[in-house]
């Protein structure tokens, strides 16, 4: 019975994918692309928020897309944005990883959840370790 439920969930995810995918493809190169990506991903995975950031060499990270209210005020705070170089995702990129989707739990150092950075940045966003 559990396997049947899984198949039902998979079918529902495929239906959501097919419903949202054409709008995502149509938005390639458009300002609405990341919003459409967020809609598709939310429909399939059911995550809480999507934040897309750019990490460019030695410059402070920039917020490209944000569907949470946390970064609205902080996005213009240069000191805050400069602190993001401590971010595990930024560190992953600095180690040479070019692409992929990663969970924080998989890339964060062991002491990350006890760090000042985690308590001052991540916890304020409402993100939780699950």
Quick one: 65 and 121 in the same domain?
Answer: yes
User: Is residue 124 pLDDT above 90, yes or no?
Assistant: no
Q: What end-to-end distance do the CA atoms of the chain give, in Å?
A: 26
Quick one: 66 and 20 in the same domain?
Answer: no
Q: CA 78, 80, 83 angle in degrees (round to 5)?
A: 105
Q: What is the pLDDT of residue 81?
A: 66
Residue 37 structural domain? 2-45
- Please, what is the angle between helix 2-26 and helix 33-45, to 10°? 170
Quick one: 60 and 119 in the same domain?
Answer: yes
d(C-alpha 82, C-alpha 5), whole Å: 46
- Higher-confidence residue of 31 and 120: namely 31
% of the chain at pLDDT higher than 70: 75
Quick one: 32 and 85 in the same domain?
Answer: no
Q: What is the pLDDT of residue 34?
A: 93
81 occurs within a structural domain: yes
Our count of domains for the chain comes to: 2
2-6, 56-60, 86-90, 117-121, range with the lowest pLDDT: 2-6
130 occurs within a structural domain: no
Q: What is the pLDDT of residue 1?
A: 45
User: Is residue 6 pLDDT above 70, yes or no?
Assistant: yes
Quick one: 59 and 82 in the same domain?
Answer: yes
- Confidence (pTM): 0.60
User: Is residue 103 pLDDT above 70, yes or no?
Assistant: yes
Q: What is the pLDDT of residue 36?
A: 93
pLDDT digits (tens, 9 = 90+) for 44-69: 877 777 778 777 666 666 778 888 76
Q: What is the pLDDT of residue 65?
A: 85
- Higher-confidence residue of 81 and 93: namely 93
Quick one: 37 and 97 in the same domain?
Answer: no
């Amino acid at each position: 019975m559990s396997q049947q439920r899984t198949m039902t969930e998979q079918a529902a995810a495929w239906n959501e994918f097919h419903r949202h995918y054409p709008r995502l493809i149509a938005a390639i190169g458009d300002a609405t692309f990341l919003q459409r990506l967020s809609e598709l991903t939310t429909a399939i995975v059911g995550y809480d928020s999507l934040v897309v950031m750019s990490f460019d060499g030695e410059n402070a990270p920039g917020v490209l897309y944000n569907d949470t209210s946390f970064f609205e005020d902080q996005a213009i705070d240069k000191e805050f944005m400069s602190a993001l170089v401590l971010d595990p995702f930024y560190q992953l990129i600095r180690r040479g990883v070019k692409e992929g989707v990663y969970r924080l739990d998989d890339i964060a150092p062991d002491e990350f959840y006890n760090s000042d950075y985690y308590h001052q940045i991540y916890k304020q966003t409402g993100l939780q370790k699950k």
